[in-house]
Amino acid sequence: MSADRVVRAPTPDDLDRAAEIVRGQLRPTPLDEGLDPSEPLLKLESMQPTGSFKVRGALNALTNVDRDTPVVTASAGNHGLGMAYAARRLGREVTVVVSNEASPAKVEALRRLGTEPVQIGTSVEDAEAYALELGRRGAHYVSPYNDPDVIAGQGTIGLELAGQAEGPMTVVCPIGGGGLASGVGLWASTRPDVRLVGVESELSTPVSESIRAGLWVETEIGPTIADGLSGNIERGSVTVDLIGRNTDQLVTVSDIEIRDAIRWLAGRRGLVAEGAGATAVAAVLAGKVGAEGRVVAIVSGRNIALSLYAAQLA
């Protein structure tokens, strides 16, 4: 992966500007309380028009790129959907690069939004490397996580939560490349009554391993149902430092625990969640979250192939 990109870390001012953009394009997502007060509150980013929180960062990032500049991104799926949706809403064009192993449900959704994805290689890293090369040739590269505007856009979830629930609270969110945890952590850093817990799949832990090492490290990645969290991160990603500073706890969950969470969400709350989208709930149900106040688990996405979803419920 490229070592020559220098990415600016976002600030609370970026978060405030992103909030204005996101409020102008998206309704706040619900905070579901359920019937049992002992269960976590659920921030339903799965109810976004693209089925994922990623549309927040995409809208903010694309709004801040000059209209005459070509835009390229790489994605495991949901960020690409967010960018395609943002492009349609803003009257822009964007090139979305995904791997040949990307979720069929997400690839088909890209096509429904009017974007034909460029499919390269067999991993998220392959797609990212190709998109970065297009960026070096003159396009503006929007990373799914290593971008200040994307991070600030994701952080608007925290600003919504502030109007939906009183503190103290413990917010639990999934970590892939770390854009969501970085953005929510940026908000949480201004709130002494908010504790933030980040959750990785135990088969893909590039952020936590880089934090522990004190520098970027490449890690072994295993196949996981949480495909949206899978893959190594860009060398030097600002998310490592942001998460290291602003996250109170980092935990991992197994595929078995994620499947249990998918079933729990369906059976107890009537909600569809993809593997990555159920990861925060998985950590709560498995008793891995050190909680203070009410627990808020971010259900980050619902885009899962029907056959794969049915297999988890069997």
Catalytically active residues, by annotation: 54, 300
Length of the chain: 314
Cα 239 → chain centroid: 12
Candidates 205, 210, 204; CA nearest to 225 is 204
Q: Which two tokens stand for residue 276?
A: 């990555």
Nearest Cα residue to 178 out of 123, 128, 124, 244: 244
How far CA 132 is from CA of 30, 81, 187, 272, 295, in Å, comes to 35, 18, 29, 33, 38
